[in-house]
Amino acid sequence: MNKISRRKMLLIMGGSLAGTTLAMAGSGISFAEDTPPPGPFKLAQKPFSWTPKTLDPKEIASVAYQGYAYKGYGCAFGTFYSIIGLMGEKYGKPYSEFPFTMMEVGKSGISDWGTICGALLGSVSALSLFWGRKERDPLVDQLFRWYETTAFPIYKPMGKAVKFEGNLPTSQSDSVLCHVSVSKWAYSSGFSAASDQRKERCARLTSDVASKTWEIIEAKMQGKTIAGFGKSDARKTCGACHDKDKESPILKGKMDCTPCHSGDKNSQNKFNDHPLTK
């Protein structure tokens, strides 16, 4: 991962402290969160009413891995089915009533757009069946930062591999985006993004993400807290100027900034050619 120099960090931080805070005034009508606006939302009055049930972590890992290749539905289907699908198979309704094939949309970063990793989409969709954002967001933070900072794949398939037999190289993406995650692995490994080796990598990654998601769910069920990773250094530094109510409040999101703005020849030159560094 690219580093931000101490000098540049101090320049950026200093610019934030020296600058004046912009007043962000909003206008318009707002509704209280527990008071829905007029409309037909009768089916949305009992949100987050499902409760998670106990599952076997080893079975989750295996089903997620196999689910990636099942009818070509991909990573979002794999992670989601390994949790909600297994609950449906073991406990019946309401878990068994979910239209699982809709999760195929998450394949390859949502319909081949390379946006959010589908394995993460499937996992957070499962979390969203149980908890609203006040409880869910800290769980998502744990999962996503773990993803950014982990070298994949980890999972070792038992029995026949779905796409490629043998060991695979690993890489850390520093990003939750499918485009970055796959491209960095393909570049570092030397395998094409269209190769069976890459597909096998993503099948194993699907298992890794499902297993981590279940670890987080299980801890939540038991009232435990899994230590988080915190913000990346780049996100903290950029946020000093660009977060809400800062001098230049243009930053949205929690992702690590470095994959897209590191200043190398393949990305936007925001760290090395920043207005405060000129």
Strands 151-152 and 171-172: antiparallel
What are the tens digits of pLDDT across the range 149-170? 999 999 999 889 999 999 999 9
Is the CB of residue 50 less than 8 Å from the CB of residue 94?
Answer: yes
For the segment 94-107, the average pLDDT, to the nearest whole number, is: 96
**pLDDT for res 261:** 79
Count other C-beta atoms under 10 Å from residue 88's C-beta: 18
What are the tens digits of pLDDT across the range 122-155? 999 999 999 999 999 999 999 999 999 999 999 9
Among 16-30, 144-158, 196-210, 230-244, the least confident range: 16-30
Which residue's entry shows tokens 């606006």?
37
* Structure confidence at residue 2 as a pLDDT band (50, 70, 90): very low
Q: Report helix angle 118-128 to 196-221, nearest 10.
A: 20
Element (H or E) spanning 79, and its range? helix 75-80
**pLDDT for res 36:** 60
**pLDDT for res 210:** 98
Give yes or no for residue 8 having a pLDDT over 80: no
Q: Give first-to-last CA distance, the chain, whole Å.
A: 23
Q: Which two tokens stand for residue 168?
A: 């695979």
Element (H or E) spanning 209, and its range? helix 196-221
Task: Quote the CA–CA distance of 48 and 30 in Å, as a whole number.
Answer: 23
Give yes or no for residue 18 having a pLDDT over 50: no
What are the tens digits of pLDDT across the range 66-90? 999 999 999 999 999 999 999 999 9
Task: Quote the CA–CA distance of 140 and 45 in Å, as a whole number.
Answer: 24
Contacts of 219 (CB under 8 A, 6+ apart): 225, 226
Among 3-12, 45-54, 92-101, 206-215, the least confident range: 3-12
**pLDDT for res 63:** 98
Q: What is the DSSP letter of 269?
A: -
Average pLDDT, the chain: 85
Q: Which two tokens stand for residue 97?
A: 């009533």
Give yes or no for residue 205 having a pLDDT over 80: yes
Contacts of 84 (CB under 8 A, 6+ apart): 95, 98, 100, 126, 129
Supply φ then ψ for residue 122, to 5 degrees. -60, -40
CB burial class (10 A; 0-12, 13-18, 19+) of residue 67?
buried
**pLDDT for res 116:** 98
Which residue's entry shows tokens 């959010």?
116
For the segment 248-254, the average pLDDT, to the nearest whole number, is: 81
For the segment 90-113, the average pLDDT, to the nearest whole number, is: 97
* Structure confidence at residue 220 as a pLDDT band (50, 70, 90): very high
Task: Quote the CA–CA distance of 39 and 49 in Å, as a whole number.
Answer: 21
Return the closest-CA partner of residue 178 out of 232, 118, 122, 219: 118
Q: Which two tokens stand for residue 60?
A: 């989750």
Return the closest-CA partner of residue 148 out of 104, 180, 105: 180
**Residue 94: is the preceding peptide bond cis (ω within 30°)?**
yes
Supply φ then ψ for residue 228, to 5 degrees. -85, 175
Give yes or no for residue 109 having a pLDDT over 50: yes
Enumerate the domain spans of the chain. 57-221, 231-278
What are the tens digits of pLDDT across the range 26-69? 444 454 566 666 677 777 667 777 999 999 999 999 999 999 99
CB burial class (10 A; 0-12, 13-18, 19+) of residue 23?
exposed
Q: Which two tokens stand for residue 276?
A: 């405060």
